[in-house]
Amino acid sequence: MTSTTSPPVFCGASDAPCNPSRRQLLIATAGVGGALVVGTAVPFVASLTPSERAMAAGAPVEVDIDKLAPGDLMVVEWRGKPVWILHRTPQMLAALAKSEPDLADPGSAVESQQPDYARNPHRSVKPDYLVAVGICTHLGCSPSSAFEPGKAEMGADWPGGFLCPCHGSTFDFAGRVFKNKPAPTNLEIPPHKYLSDARLLIGADDSARG
């Protein structure tokens, strides 16, 4: 009998880790302080997902994103890895340019870290959405959200992004690593394409430019 995959995880724009297991996923939303304005994520179960065996072999994963509010993060599983889908707010997009002087690879020069169509400042097909593998490129820990700009423990000049709790690597809202951090490269961007405004396919990109 074909088994079903676990449902996606929703993470609000809080600083709590979002690290799903293969057997149990949690759904959570939270608000962002400061300048960020976020909506409330509504949990749902993605349809048309492959079996665990097919997914482990690399089958694409189809995800419904129409209920993902600006400022919220969803986590789904592809090839046994957590894949983030972040609906970026205008403030998050504006922070990308501000971060560039402090990034190790702002232009995504390392070709293996993203498909060609994601070698742009927002590292995505659609600027509003980040689709990235949520695994630090240092030693494989899963970074946590640190969305709030100027958060005290991050420093007054922190623009917002992600923090790896294991060794302190930090990434911006496009998954680009900051300078002088243990992580050697930006976060990986998986192949992906949009089947419609509400449907995203992770693991295939033959029509991603359309």
Which residues are marked as active site? 167
- Tally the C-alpha atoms within 13 A of residue 166's C-alpha that lie toward its C-beta: 11
| Spatial contact of 127 and 181, defined as CB atoms under 8 Å apart | no
- The tokens of 7 are what? 């449902």
Q: Which of 169, 172, 170, 154 is nearest to 100 (CA)?
A: 172
Burial 56-77 (b: 16+ CB within 10 A, else e): eeebbbbbbbebbbbbbbbbbb
- The tokens of 39 are what? 């909506």
DSSP state of 178: B
Q: Where are the alpha helices (DSSP H) in 62-101?
A: 90-99
Q: Where are the alpha helices (DSSP H) in 9-89?
A: 52-56
Angle CA 85–87–92, to nearest 5:
120
Sheet-wide strand order for 170-171: 144-146, 161-163, 170-171
| Spatial contact of 65 and 2, defined as CB atoms under 8 Å apart | no
